[in-house]
Structure 1
Amino acid sequence: MANAMKVVRLGREYIKPSSPTPLHLRNFKLSLLDQLAPSVYASMVFFYPMEHSHGHPKIEARHRVEYLKKSLSPFLTDFYPFAGRIKDHVSIDCNDAGVAFSMAHVNTRLNDFLKQPNANALKHLLPVDIESRNMRMVGDDDHHQLAHVQTNTFECGGMALGICWSHKITDGGTVSAFMRGWSDIASCSGNRVIPEYLASSLFPPMDSSITQDSLNLRMDRTSTRRFVFEASKIAELRTRGASQDVSRPTRVEVVSSLLWKCATKASRANSRDKRYSVMSQSMNIRKRTTPPLPSTTIGNLVGYYVAKMEDNNNNICMCDLVAKQRQGKTEAINNYAKKLQGKDAYSVIRELFKEAGTLLRKEDVDFFKCLSTCGDGLYDAADFGWGKPIWQSLVSLGYKNTFALSQTRDRSGIEAWVTLSEDDMTIFERDLELLSFASSNSRVVEFFRGSSQDHHN
């Protein structure tokens, strides 16, 4: 299906804020964490069938596109930095140049696409080439934009909304605030998300001479697969992962620990050398600052922690891996998150990047990265008035040894996009321990049985 699918772009325009940004807000300062963020895109796709049950009216695809266009303009009045352009390594010029809004047609049915989602096919539903190192839009020299949007209309009338945000001011919390703010205006819910721009005052930027400590993440010969963990299987994993040190492990802790364990086994099976394994995971630090920041604070407000599997034992217990994660998180909160607000914040961050870079460069170390949007409530946030998305998905950048986790639509399960080397993936996707808890790329969702949705999509 993925090879036969074609996405034809029909046009593009720039949506500007409905009210001009005041002069005193035109120069938006990046925070220190924004400055050190990688020059890549955070990308997601939200899927909507032609019509929903539960009382939502049928809205034709062309009307949906118009709703999105019209609501984006007043939304950008509050979220004005996204309509600006990256000026330098210190600031954004909030010049109201607008968000690029593209429209495209897909020559297949939504139901067919969702039977077995394909990581490479997802990329065609995005307005930007996310694998471009220069964050350059295909066919466009302007690579300083903060957000790009693309509507993709399927033959059945279903729609996929692809969005790319610059990582320079975007993390999972920012994506959630962005989607809630936009959807509230589109659906006329009467609610209003007020973004907070406090990051640069809490984490002041360095001057323009600062250099980005980018990590050399590999993309060569990788393979990406999707795995789904149902609620009952996650409950079993939580029982396995519990110990005296961690009596109630989280869902993300146990799922990521299993992925880490099985990916490490695959790597060791393909190597003759003794290999150590570490996993880094991001965490939202909004609630860990002093004072805590509102959830709608815009920017890269994330910290990172590292868990180390130092023994070369493939039979390591799940509870030990969970405990290593919890220990790494606790140490990060005490030694990293709290120190970020001090005068030595830059030194603290540089040391963190230095440690990670050292581990990445070691030939006998497998370095895994895990990110999660499970707590961001994105299904609820992306209801524009015609119902929640039938599915939403992160889009993999193709970096080796990454796990990208998100909630299933009913919030009870977890989906994981796993990217490994091609050789490691061949072993990983056949791992019996993994497959006893996860299904491999199962159908996204059974559309509403008994409704016309079964026939039209």
Structure 2
Amino acid sequence: MKMMDMKTEIISRKCIKPSSPTPPHLKTFKLSLLDQITPDLHNNMTFFFSASQSGDHNHNHTISQFTTKSQLLQKYLSDILTLFYPFAGRFQDDTTVLCNDDGISFVETRTDITLSDFLRHPDLSSVDHHLVPTYDPKTAEELTSMSEGCMVLIKFVSFSCGGTALSLSTSHKLIDLATLITLLRSWSSACRGSPDPIIPDLYTAASLLPPKEIPDTTGSKIIAEKKFASRRFVFTPSKIEELKSKLFTALGYHVSRVEAVTALIWISAANALKCKTKSFMPTLMVQAVNLRTRMEPPLPESSIGNLMWMFSVIVEKEKEMELQELVKKLKGLKKSVNEKVNKFKGEDVVGLVEESLKERVECLEQRKDNLVVYICSSWCGFPLLETCDFGWGKPAWLTSIAKNLMTNTVYLMDTKEVGGVEALVHLDEEEMNLFQSNQQLLQFASVNPDIVV
């Protein structure tokens, strides 16, 4: 499916507000320290749903079903926004949200193709250009003034067959992946008629990590934006077991599927870089870690805000650039994370954050000409597909594309087939051409296979 083969048409634009006004004493919402230092970039996620199994997919019936689903989504979104009221507000500054009930953008769109055609070797650029409710007003024709400053933008898309896509664009300054899942869980359960609302924990993050006066952290943006290519790679459960077995033979101990896949992508990317530059360069692998589950005692899963931190491991010498050596480094990083993570609950947490940011910036400034950084975020184990059932079945597929992504980023997520991993890889265009032809990688991964609906 080529991007130019797909046409979309906007049906409506709406602003969804909380079904009841936010009380005056809740008008100012305090962000946490980690929210404070997170830039206001938007992350996107798109869920694809098969047509309802009624067997009747004539044009009028398809429109009627889409309208019914859209009205359901809008009604219960309005209801749950009374619980997630900061999401309907606007950032006042780096430390506060004005909970003014300005609402969130909801756009309805239809397209002239079927979902099965779209998911036949899905084109990520088509997701980006047609399905994502982008935050950039210069490149998004559907944006209106009402969506400026929105923390959440939503697009609901009707395919000609009756299938649908639901895209969410959310501000990373307040909403990390676990926060998004809490929002989706509350919204979807309300749509299914659950009598017990899922209530977000709005205050734990700021009470644990209150905002403070800290030095400018703009230098913590560790990779400059540039033109890059995005590709999708799928590791089936059988191929992952084959890879893990190979690593067990070499190491003598078991590794997780995320460690195995991350190491394989890392070495393949580094080899592509070496082929391009004709020389070895040290590389740094940065991994995003959810702090909620690793603290003792664990924080509530429903805790809202950025309760995550970036940890990293470096390869300085070419002889270390072997698959099993990278797995060893990732194992060591995991152990280090588990030892450090509870410091985020200590009295000097602000000092810890400042020190960590300073070290990160200094390292990158000193090594900027001879250090290549990769960022890997694993969503494996997060119940995204299971959570996103609004009453017409679980998604057939989900993906994440964003215009403001940085190159050298990797996102790992579960496949519908239990035990599999799907990787979204973003690299320099020349490096991607080398990466996707790497035979060691292709021994275990398929490039953009069909999605069956």
Instruction: State the TM-score, normalized to the length of structure 2.
Output: 0.90
* Per-residue CA distance 1:336-359 (angstroms, 9 max, x = gap): x22223343233223333444433
How far 1:244 moved relative to its partner?
Answer: 9.3
Structure 1: tracts of 5 or more residues without a match: 448-457
> Which one-letter code corresponds to 1:250 in the other structure?
S
1:421-440 aligned at under 5 Å gives the runs 421-440=428-447
- Residue in 2 aligned with 1:451? none
Conserved 8 A contact 2:133-2:168: yes
Counterparts of 1:113-128 in structure 2, within 5 Å, are 113-123=118-128, 124-128=130-134
Give the 3-state SS of the residue equivalent to 1:426 in structure 2: helix
Distance change in 2, residues 1:210/1:402 (3 Å):
closer
Match of 1:156 in 2: 161
Q: 1:311 aligns with which of 311, 317, 333?
A: 317
* Structure 2: distance between partners of 1:49 and 1:154: 9
Which residue matches 1:392? 398
Mapped to 1, the partners of 2:138 and 2:422 lie a distance apart of 26
In the TM superposition, 1:209-288 aligns within 5 A as 211-242=217-248, 247-288=253-294
Q: Deviations over 1:190-209 (max 9, x none)?
A: 44312102100000011498
Looking at structure 2, the residues matched to 46 and 202 of structure 1 have their Cα atoms a distance apart, in angstroms, of: 33
State which drifts further: 110-119 or 381-390.
Answer: 110-119
Which AA in structure 1 matches 2:418?
A: R
Q: Rate the CA distance shift 1:314–1:268 in 2: closer, same or farther, 3 A.
A: farther
Match of 1:301 among 307, 314, 323: 307
Equivalent-residue separation in structure 2 for 1:4 and 1:244 (angstroms): 47
Greater CA deviation, 197-206 or 207-216? 207-216
Task: Establish whether residue 420 from structure 1 lines up as the match of residue 427 from structure 2.
Answer: yes
Distance 1:314 1:432, change over 3 A: farther
How is 1:10-29 mapped onto 2 (pairs within 5 angstroms)? 10-29=11-30
Contact 1:246–1:326 (CA under 8 A) maintained in structure 2: no
Task: Answer yes or no: is the 8 Å Cα contact 1:281–1:306 preserved in 2.
Answer: yes
Contact persistence 1:240–1:319 (CA under 8 A): no
Match of 1:402 in 2: 409
CA distance 1:392–1:172, shift in 2 (3 Å): same
Q: Is the 8 A contact 2:237 2:420 kept in 1?
A: yes
Aligned counterpart in structure 2 of residue 200 of structure 1, from 200, 206, 217: 206
Q: What is the one-letter code of the residue matched to 2:84?
A: F
Assess if the C-alpha contact under 8 Å between 1:17 and 1:98 holds in 2.
yes
Picking from 320, 329, 333, the partner of 1:324 is 329
Do the aligned partners of 2:223 and 2:373 also contact (CA within 8 Å) in 1?
no
Q: Give the corresponding residue for 2:10.
A: 9
Q: In structure 1, how many angstroms separate the alpha carbons of the residues matched to 2:430 and 2:163?
A: 36
| Deviation of 1:5 (Å) | 1.1
Structure 1 residues 208 and 62: CA distance shift in structure 2, 3 A: farther
Name the CA distance, whole Å, in 1 between partners of 2:401 and 2:73: 21
CA contact (8 A) 1:229 1:439 kept: yes
8 A contact 2:217–2:357 mirrored in 1:
no
Quick one: which amino acid aligns to residue 70 of structure 1? K
Q: Distance in 2 between matches of 1:88 and 1:202?
A: 20
Contact 1:246 1:322 in 2 (8 A): no
SS of residue paired to 2:166: strand
Q: Distance in 2 between matches of 1:88 and 1:100?
A: 21
* Structure 2 unpaired stretches of 5+: 55-61
Residue-by-residue CA offset, 1:312-344 (whole Å, 9 max, x unaligned): 13861x332122012112223323x22223343
Letter in 2 for 1:270: K
- Per-residue deviation at 1:155? 1.4
SS of alignment partner, residue 288 of structure 1: coil
Structure showing the higher helix proportion among its residues: 2
Q: Which residue of 1 aligns with 2:451?
A: 444
Matches within 5 A, 1:135-146: 138-140=143-145, 143-146=148-151
CA contact (8 A) 1:279 1:367 kept: yes
Number of the residue aligned with 1:83: 88
| Deviation digits for residues 248-284 of structure 1 (CA, Å, limit 9, x no counterpart) | 3221111111000100000011113331112101111
Q: Structure 2: how far apart are the matches of 1:23 and 1:389?
A: 38
Partner of 2:82, secondary structure, is: helix
**What amino acid is the match of 2:151?**
L
Q: Secondary structure at the match of 2:375?
A: strand
4+ long deviations beyond 6 Å: 243-246
Paired positions, count: 440
Measured in 2, the distance between the counterparts of 1:157 and 1:75 equals 26
Structure 2 equivalent of residue 455 of structure 1 = none
Q: Which amino acid aligns with 2:23?
A: P
Q: CA 1:102–1:62 in structure 2 vs 1: closer, same or farther (change >3 Å)?
A: same
Please state if 1:31 is matched with 2:32: yes
* Alpha-carbon spacing, 1:291–1:244, altered in 2? closer, same or farther (3 Å): farther
Moved more, 368-377 or 244-253: 244-253
- How far residue 19 of structure 1 moved from its aligned partner, in angstroms, is 2.1
Q: Is the 8 A contact 1:50 1:61 kept in 2?
A: no
Matches of 1:362 and 1:226, distance apart in 2: 28
**Partners of 1:154 and 1:207 in 2: CA distance:** 49
* 2:185 counterpart of 1:185: no
Distance in 1 of aligned mates of 2:235 and 2:339: 32
1 CA distance for matches of 2:413 and 2:136? 19
What is the aligned-residue identity percentage? 35
RMSD in angstroms over aligned alpha carbons? 2.6
